[in-house]
Amino acid sequence: MVGRPTQRTPEITAQILEGIRDGLLHRGTVCKLVGISPRTLRRWIKQDPAFRESLRNAEAEGEAKLSRVVVKAATKDPRFALDVLRARYPERWGKRRARIETAENVPLDIPPTLPKELRAIWREAAEKHWKDPKLNRELEIYWATGETSRPKQIRALRKLLTDLETEQGDPADMPPTIN
């Protein structure tokens, strides 16, 4: 009994690895683009250890490529930098969500140390029950940096990123550096 011919050709293999290296880290998406099923890809991985290793290497390269893009973007946008810090170091930067429900109207007084520039943002955020991410982020960036001007916030967040990158720890936990 003769089985059907394989769909695996050097061209298809190269397209899969190239797609993953380019940052298409979802295997199902790559399969769809090259015209095979995810089941077929899983079978090839199981049957061919060399292909499996090549695929893993391509995934590592794709992740590194995307990481460099993310770190570069974070140096230009303090809000994005804060999001990266939250994703990379959730224990220190993650949002702690607490839900407080009450039948009474709880006054949310403006902290006396809050700069005048941020008081309108505080009032608006409180009126929206702290559900507006943009307003919350403005206040969080101030609390993280102690600065109200965007250029100073960017410098402070860059310094925080640098400090985190130079901390002692497992090198595998460190984000890639951009040259």
Span of 25-29, 68-72, 100-104, 116-120 with lowest mean pLDDT = 100-104
Q: pLDDT class for 119, splitting at 50, 70, 90?
A: confident
Q: What is the pLDDT of residue 170?
A: 56
Residue type, 145: T
pTM reported for the whole predicted model: 0.48
Question: Lowest mean pLDDT: which of 64-73, 107-116, 121-130, 149-158?
Answer: 107-116
Looking at residue 103, what is its pLDDT? 47
Each residue's pLDDT tens digit, 71-102: 888 888 877 878 877 877 777 777 664 444 44
pLDDT of residue 51: 94
In the predicted structure, residue 53 carries a pLDDT above the cut 60: yes
What per-residue confidence (pLDDT) applies to 107? 52
| Tens digit of each residue's pLDDT (9 = 90 or more) over 17-36 | 999 998 877 888 899 999 99
Please report the pLDDT score of residue 55 as a whole number. 93
Query: Measured between alpha carbons, how far is 61 from 55 in angstroms, rounded to an integer?
Result: 10
Whether the pLDDT of residue 125 is over 90: the answer is: no
Q: What is the mean pLDDT of the chain?
A: 80
Residues 126-140: what's their mean pLDDT?
A: 83
Model pLDDT for residues 160-177, shown as the tens digit of each residue:
888 777 765 555 555 555
- Compute the distance between CA of residue 78 and CA of residue 55 in angstroms, rounded to an integer: 34
pLDDT at 174: 55
Among 45, 22, 18, CA closest to 34? 18
Give one DSSP letter per residue of 94-122, joined into a string: S--------SS----PPPTTS-HHHHHHH
